[in-house]
Structure formats: C-alpha cells, structure tokens
Structure 1
Amino acid sequence: MLFHLLVPLADQFAAFNVFRYLTFRSGGAVMTALVLSFLAGPGLIRLLRSRQRGGQPIRDDGPESHLLTKRGTPTMGGFLILMAMTLSTLLWADLRNGFIWVALFVTVSFGAIGFLDDYRKVVRRSSGGLPGRAKLILQIIIAGSAALWVTALSPAALQNMLVFPFLKLVLVDLGFFFIPFVILVIVGASNAVNLTDGLDGLAIVPVMIVAGVFALIAYLVGNSVFASYLQIRYVPGSGELAVFCGALVGSGLGFLWFNAPPAKVFMGDTGSLALGGALGAISVITKHEVVLAIVGGLFVLEAVSVIVQVISFKLTGKRVFRMAPLHHHFEKLGWAESTIVIRFWIIASILALIGLSSLKLR
C-alpha cells in the first residue's frame, strides 16, 4: 500500500525514493509486524484465555510433564502471527505482484484449516480436531490451486521445472507431475512444521531462520544481475517475496516474546499449518524446493521420525523412538525442555548455513 501511495510522489519528494527499494521495504515489514505483534499480543492472549476455559487440551499419551507444565495455556496464538504478517505485507509489498497474493493465499487458507482444527479441539475439550482425511483433502485442494497459479505466473522456461542446488545446469522437466510435486512440497512443509510445534519456542525460531534464508534467496532470484552472477535461475517478480519473508520474521519475533518458556500462548495448528504452507509456497515460487528440504531439515527430521515410528510399529510391533516426533524422544530420555529447544535451534542454524552455501557452490 505504501509503495503505491508514496512512490508516485518521489519526483516531488526525493525521500520517498527509498520505498522503491526491496531492502528498505523488507526492513519496514519486519519492524511493522514486530510492533503489531507487541501491541496486539497481550489483548489477544487475554481474549483467548477467557474464551478457552482450561486452555489447549493436552494429550494423555504425551510426555507426563506436559500435563503439569502446559495445562491451561491457551492456543490459537498463530492468529497473532497471521494478523501481523498479513497487515505488514499488505502495507509494504507491491500489491501488483502475483507471487505475493499466492503466498498470502496459501498462508491464510492453511491458517483457516488450522483454526478450524484448534476450534474443534477447544470446544470438544479433546486433542482430536478435524478428521485427518478432511484436513488433508482441504490442504491438497489449496496447494493444487497454488500450484496452478504459480505455473501461470512463472516464466515459460521454468514452468514445470525442478532445479537442483549445487548443480547449475541441471533442470528436470516434471511435466504433468509438477502439480503433484508442488502439492507434496506445500502440504509436506505445512505438516512437518505442525509436527515440530510441540515445545515452547521450538517451531517458531527455525521457521524464522528458514524465512530469513528465503528472504535472501527471493531477493537474489528476483534480481537478474545477482542471479546471473551466482548462476541461479532468475524468476522475475519473485524478489517481492523478500517483503513477505520479512513480515514473517517480524511477526515470528513478536510471537516468540509471548511463546518463550514458559509460554503464555501456543500457536496451535492455526500458526503451524500456515507457517509451513508459507515456506513451501515460497520455495516453489523461487524454484528452491530442494533447498527448503536442506534449510528446513529440522522439520524433515521431525516428520521422518513419525513416519519411521508408525511403519516400524505396524510392521514389527516395536517402536524405534521412545516417542515421536523426535523432540518427545529426547524428553523421554530425560533432556530438559530448554536443552532440546536450544539444541534444535543450533541444528536449524547449521542447516541454514548449508542451504545458503548452495547459492555459491555450483
């Protein structure tokens, strides 16, 4: 909005020229989302606490300590992230850019699915929300729509193409299978972040790390000069996603203020499904889906631990981990919650550096 209001006035007021620059607007999006989160957070938490008698239902089959330390904490805090991120993006982004609307569409739609899931849990006072099949079908429909939208907006030379990091000349034409691939990336990322969100602050910091990495990737991929120098695929218009990623980082920081141990609010599926979907959509637009699997490797590990646990138990009757997802396994081993969270943050940071190296090592 500010871009459209102030850039036309740059000829009369030279100071408004700064609104032409992605770096300035991305920084503005970070700060705006952060301030909005700080301002709205306390009131939203009070509202959620008053509406959710007893807070988020705690699973009886989860770690025993959660029944004592997390009982009564309200959920649906992801609404704070979505509100701050969406408003900040609308304020600072170039709204003529179709990729911005794709990212917002996926994020808000997945957030709506998460909201319905959280609402059913709170109303029924049960850890079971939307039926898994219904949730998955809704996610597939939204991700499929986004896949078609991204394909229409992408350059013809990159449509249906899979780009591999570290290999500058390798392009794989997925053809018809590109749509199912995009669905897998977005839905998979969404549910992987959802599985990771089990401890105070555990999911939101890695999400911010990944969003920060993709803010840089989007900026470089959307700039023909930098893309040519780094020998990465140039996607016109994708640079505007740096503003969206900035808003995501700012809203995540604001949410972390209230989600830091001991958490005053949980993001719930409202936040985790939306944030994972957003990261998946950004990776598809920038043609860095494989890099997402590296940078977001922590989310992959959490998801794989659940898959391995389920398959092992069904085939052999034995469990590989004491409890899945992976962070619960370490809780069962006696690790303190803060130890698990900080060590997982370190892992996420290391994976982010590995993913960033793909920009230069080709």
Structure 2
Amino acid sequence: MLYYIFRWLDQFGVSGSHLWSYISFRSILALVLALVISAWFGEKFIKYLKRKQITETARDEKIDPFGVNKVGVPSMGGIIIIVALLIPVILLGRLRNIYLILMIVTTVWLGFLGGMDDFIKIFRHNKEGLKGKYKIVGQVSIGLIVGLVLWASPDVKSNLNMELGQKNGQEIVVKHSEKAEKTLKTTIPFVKNHNLDYSKVMGFCGEHSVAAGWILFVIMTIFVVTAVSNGANLNDGMDGMCAGNSAIIGVALGILAYVSSHIQYAAYLNIMYIPGSEELVVFFCAFIGALIGFLWYNAYPAQVFMGDTGSLTIGGIIAVGAIIIHKELLLPILCGIFFVESLSVILQVWYYKIGKRRGVKQRIFKRTPIHDNFRTQDSQLDPDCKYLIRVPHGAKHEAKITIRFWIITILLVALAIITLKIR
C-alpha cells in the first residue's frame, strides 16, 4: 500500500520517495515494523487472552520432570505472529505480485485452520481439537491452490540458468535465458549444473509428459505443504522451540529469495533467476521480525503459546516460500529438525504397532516427538515396556534442549546455503 503511494509521489520529485523502490529498504523496514508490532501487540493480546481465560488446558505436566505447570498459560498466540506479519507486508509489499499474494493467502488460510483447532480445544474442552481428517483436508486444499496457481498464472516465470563453458580454463560461465518462461525445473542440492525436471521424471508419458509433470508438481506441492506444516506443529512442544527454529529457517529462505531475484547472484550460484521473487524478501523479513518479537513472550518460561494457529501457519509459509523459489528439495536440510520430529513419531507408532501384534509392549524412544525424549526421566518410563533407545539417562531442561535445537537448525541452514556453492 505505502509502496504504491510513494512510487506515485516519486513522479512529482518528492524527496525520499525513491527509497521505496529499493528492496533492501522495504525489507529492513518490514523486519523492524513486524518486531515492534509483535512486541507491542503481544503484551496487550496476552492480557486480553488472560481476561477471557483463553488459556492452555491440555498440557500434560507429567512430561516435564522439573514440575513446571503450564496449564493456564494463554494460547492462540499465533494470532500475534500473523498480525505482526501481515501488517508490514500489506503496507510495504507490492500487493499485485503473485508470489506475495500466495504467501498472504497461505498465511490467512492456515491461520484460520489452526485457529479452529485451538478454538475447539479451548472452548469446546476437546483436547484432540479439530479432527485430523479436516486438518489434512485444509492443508491439502492450500497446497492444491498454490500448485494450481503456480501452474496456471502467466506471471509465474523463470529465466533458466545455462552453462556456456569455461572462462580462462578455470571458471564456468553461467548466463540465463533471455526470455522468462514457465518451467518445471527445481534445484537439486549437491548436484552440479543439474536441476530436476518434473516433466522428464514423467517422460514415460510421452507427448503428455509436460502435462503429467505439472500434475506431479501439484502433488509435490500438496505433499510438501502438508509435511512441513505438520512438522512445525510437532516441533511446537517447548517454549521458544518452534518460533526460534522457524526464524532461523526464515533467514535462509529470505537469502535464497534474494539471490534468486538478483540475476548476477543467480548466475554466480548457478540457480534459476526468478523475476518478482524479491517481494518474498519483504515477506520473510516481516516473518523473522514477527517471530523474534513473539519470542519475547514465548521464551522460557512462556507467557503465551502460539498454538496450532501459529505452528500450522509457520510450516505452511516455509513450504510455500521454498516451492515458489524452486528450492523445495532443500527443505529436508533446511527443516531437518521438523523432519526428524515427524519421523520420530512415525517410527514410534510403527514400532509400537509391530510389538502390539506380537503381544509385546515396545517403543523406540522414551517419548515422541523426539524433543520430549530428552526431557524424560528414566523413572517416568513404563516398567512393562521395552525401550530400544533409553538415552540420554536423566532429563535435560527444556531451555537447554531448545537452544541446542536452534544450534542444530543454524548448522543445517548453513549447510543448505553452501550446497548451492558446492554445486
């Protein structure tokens, strides 16, 4: 909104209005504004939640060996993140940009879905919340919408990177095609000068391989959005855990969006140049600022929980942002913590069911998601159950676990970024 106002004023030579054409100016302003809104609005919203008794009721305090009672802490704090994110984006972004529109729609859609889940838990006193099938339908729906828009929109185009040989016998010269076009290619980490082409994967369909490739892309989009959204939801089990990890991932996606929107940097890194993706930098800077501001209240001991309102939205934002810049195959590295959290739950359920069929009570980990494994005392375990992994012996404080998970995410993010240069 302000972008268009100041660009209009620039036509009349108004001093300083040209600054709004710089993505760096708008991005930094978005980060600061989101942080301030999150911190200011957060305090007032937490007081409102307490007055209305919109608080946590389903926390199992037996999980925490240090006896911290979290029942009564305000929930649905994800609204703080969403408000602090959307206001700067609407004020500072180019709202006619298709990528920015998709990010806003994803935020609102998954925020509403998570809000319904939290509403049922708190006001209907149903600790299960929204039924799993409805949650999956909501996640699949936004994945389908994003995939179809990226398929059908004429504004979604990229300039493909082309290797032209060697310069002075040492360096590969990379240029981009002069004409932006729709593409089914995406970046493969660690593989030099290669992109995955969905149409080639579906090459067995012959003359219909391109259409089949787009169908595969839409299916991939649905899978990625659902998987990352659920992974973030599982990671939201300790004070500051999900918000901190997501802010770190947001930094990486902001960097990747910037280099993808800059033709010289895209050529240097041998990745696709994506015109218009610079607006994602504004979005992810606001995303980072909103999460950091939220951490002011969510760091241990938490004054507010984000709830599914926040965690489902955060995961969807990360997934859709990565898909737009053709970096969805980097997500297993970038979101390694989310991936491990989800995998630990899947393996735990699978192993338990195998034992149940044989009449044996067994588990792999002491508790899942995996972060709960590290804060579980041996004395809290079921003596009738066989545990495959009982380490660590003794429990770690959740603040220590959270910081260590942040450190792991920083390492994974660094690895994901340098994979581009390794290529």
Q: Deviations over 1:161-196 (max 9, x none)?
A: 332123222322250211110011111111100000
Aligned pair 1:164/2:188, yes or no?
yes
Structure 2: which amino acid aligns with 1:331?
R
Between 6-15 and 83-92, report the one with greater CA deviation.
Answer: 6-15
Aligned pair in 2 of structure 1 residues 129, 218: CA closer, same or farther (>3 Å)?
A: same
Q: After TM superposition, list the pairs within 5 Å mapping 1:267-346 onto structure 2.
A: 267-317=306-356, 318-332=362-376, 333-346=394-407
Q: Is the 8 A contact 2:336 2:412 kept in 1?
A: yes
Number of the residue aligned with 2:29: 28
Q: What TM-score results when the alignment is normalised by the length of structure 2? A: 0.82
Q: Which amino acid aligns with 2:23?
A: L
8 Å CA contact 2:98, 2:156 repeated in 1: no
Q: Is the 8 A contact 2:65 2:375 kept in 1?
A: no
Q: AA paired with 1:165?
A: P
Q: How many residues align?
A: 361
1:73 maps to a residue whose letter is V
Shift of 1:58: 2.4
Aligned amino acid, residue 138 of structure 1: G
- Deviations along 1:64-91, one digit per CA (max 9) or x if unpaired, are 5587421110100000000010011011
Offset of 1:298 from its aligned partner?
Answer: 0.9
Aligned partner of residue 331 in structure 1, secondary structure: coil
- 1-side partners of 2:343 and 2:61: how far apart? 20
Cα separation, partners in 2 of 1:225 and 1:191, compared to 1, 3 Å: same
Q: Which amino acid aligns with 1:56?
A: E
Question: Paired residue for 2:412, among 322, 330, 351?
Answer: 351
**Distance in 2 separating the partners of 1:329 and 1:128:** 22
Choose 60-69 or 162-171, whichever is displaced more. 60-69
Match of 1:69 in 2: 69
- Give the conservation status (yes or no) of the 8 Å contact 1:58–1:67: no
Point out the structure with max Rg over C-alpha.
2
Matches within 5 A, 1:1-362: 1-11=1-11, 12-52=13-53, 55-60=55-60, 63-65=63-65, 68-151=68-151, 152=153, 153-155=155-157, 157-167=181-191, 168-174=193-199, 175=213, 176-317=215-356, 318-332=362-376, 333-362=394-423
Task: Report the residue type matching 1:37 in the other structure.
Answer: S
Task: For 1:287 and 1:259, locate their aligned partners in 2 and report how far apart those are by CA, in whole Å.
Answer: 32
CA contact (8 A) 1:164 1:171 kept: yes
Q: Structure 2: any 5+ residue segments left out of the alignment?
A: 159-180, 200-212, 357-361, 377-393
Give the residue type in structure 1 aligned to 2:368.
Answer: A
- Tell me how far apart the structure 2 counterparts of residues 202 and 266 of structure 1 sit (CA, whole Å): 11
Secondary structure of the residue aligned to 1:162 is strand
Summarize the Cα distance change of 1:312–1:283 in structure 2 as closer, same or farther, 3 Å threshold: same
CA deviation after TM superposition for structure 1 residue 160, in Å:
3.3
Contact 1:58 1:66 in 2 (8 A): no
C-alpha distance in structure 1 between counterparts of 2:62 and 2:366, whole Å: 11
For 2:408 and 2:221, locate their aligned partners in 1 and report how far apart those are by CA, in whole Å: 26
Over aligned residues, Cα RMSD in angstroms?
A: 1.7
Which protein has the bigger helix share?
1
State which drifts further: 288-297 or 96-105.
288-297
* Residues in 1 aligned to 2:94 and 2:68: alpha-carbon distance in whole angstroms: 47
| Distance in 2 (alpha carbons) for counterparts of 1:82 and 1:143 | 19
2:105 and 2:3 map into 1 onto residues whose CA distance is 20
Can you list the C-alpha shifts for 1:299-319, whole angstroms capped at 9, x where unaligned? 111111111111111122421
Could you tell me how far 1:59 is from its partner in structure 2? Answer: 4.2
Following TM superposition, by how much is the alpha carbon of 1:45 offset from its aligned partner in structure 2, in angstroms?
0.4
SS of aligned partner of 2:26: helix
The farther-off stretch of 291-300 and 323-332 is 291-300
Structure 1 distance, partners of 2:255, 2:28, is 12
Which deviates more, 295-304 or 5-14?
Answer: 5-14
